[in-house]
């Protein structure tokens, strides 16, 4: 009986993760300051605009998980603060030590030597070598409004960290 109950709880937990991701798609919110929490309980970890500045990628966390949201500006209030709608979501259980997302105007990454504002890279900073190891990469396809997995071949991320 205990084994049966454990199996059911495991299946329910596994089903909840994709459901959480799907509940974010279509979610509308007002832009907030980094570090603030949205009404749905996710904490804003910052983001940046893409090559089409009506779109952005933002980092969020909730319940020990990390998320990247591909968002579109759906309007602005009288003060110019954007209203966002979530178009696609990437979900991560945890980030490893020294791992970070590099994207948008602050990215230090290139593909075959060329900058691309629509590329999102998960990289691990290697402090002793002061270099990045590229782990995964995606393109924010704004025509399809989806994240698309990219090969990491040809992606290089330079370090601007001094320590």
- Dihedral angle at the C-alpha atoms of 88, 9, 63, 102, nearest 10 degrees? -40
pLDDT of amino acid 120: 96
What does the alpha-carbon distance between residue 6 and residue 12 come to, in Å, rounded to a whole number?
Answer: 10
Q: Whole-angstrom Cα distance, residue 73 to residue 68?
A: 16
Tell me: pLDDT of 9 over 70.
no
Give the residue with greater pLDDT, 10 vs 43: 43
Contacts of residue 152, Cβ cutoff 8 Å, sequence gap at least 6: 121, 134, 135, 136, 137
In 3D space, the residue among 75, 97, 163, 88 whose CA is nearest the CA of residue 120 turns out to be: 88
pLDDT value, residue 21: 59
Tens digit of each residue's pLDDT (9 = 90 or more) over 16-70: 344 455 679 999 999 888 989 999 999 999 999 999 999 999 999 999 999 999 9
Identify the helix (H) or strand (E) that includes residue 14.
helix 2-24
pLDDT digits (tens, 9 = 90+) for 98-114: 999 999 888 889 999 99
pLDDT value, residue 159: 80
Number of H helices, E strands in the chain: 1, 11
**Nearest of 161, 99, 106, 105 to residue 136 by alpha carbon:** 99
pLDDT tens-digit readout, 129-161: 888 999 999 999 999 999 999 999 999 998 876
Q: Where are the domains of the chain?
A: 99-157
pLDDT band at 77 (very low <50, low <70, confident <90, very high): very high
Residue 122 has pLDDT above 70, yes or no: yes
Count CA within 13 A, CB hemisphere, residue 5. Answer: 2
Query: pTM for this one?
Result: 0.82
Cα R_g (the chain), whole angstroms? 18
DSSP string, 122-140: EEEEETTTTEEEEEEEEEE
């Amino acid at each position: 009986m205990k084994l049966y109950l454990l199996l059911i709880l495991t299946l329910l937990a596994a089903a909840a993760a994709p459901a959480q991701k799907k509940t974010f798609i279509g979610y509308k919110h007002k832009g907030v300051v980094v570090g603030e929490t949205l009404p749905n309980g996710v904490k804003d970890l910052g983001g940046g605009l893409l090559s089409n500045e009506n779109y952005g990628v933002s980092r969020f966390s909730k319940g020990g998980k990390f998320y990247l949201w591909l968002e579109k500006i759906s309007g602005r209030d009288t003060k110019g603060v954007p209203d966002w709608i979530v178009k696609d979501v990437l979900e991560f259980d945890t980030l490893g030590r020294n791992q970070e997302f590099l994207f948008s105007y602050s990215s230090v990454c290139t593909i075959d030597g060329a900058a691309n504002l629509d590329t999102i890279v998960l990289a691990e900073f290697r402090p002793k070598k002061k270099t990045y190891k590229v782990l995964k990469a995606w393109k924010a396809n704004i025509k399809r409004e989806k994240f698309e997995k990219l090969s990491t071949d040809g992606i290089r991320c330079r370090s601007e960290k001094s320590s």
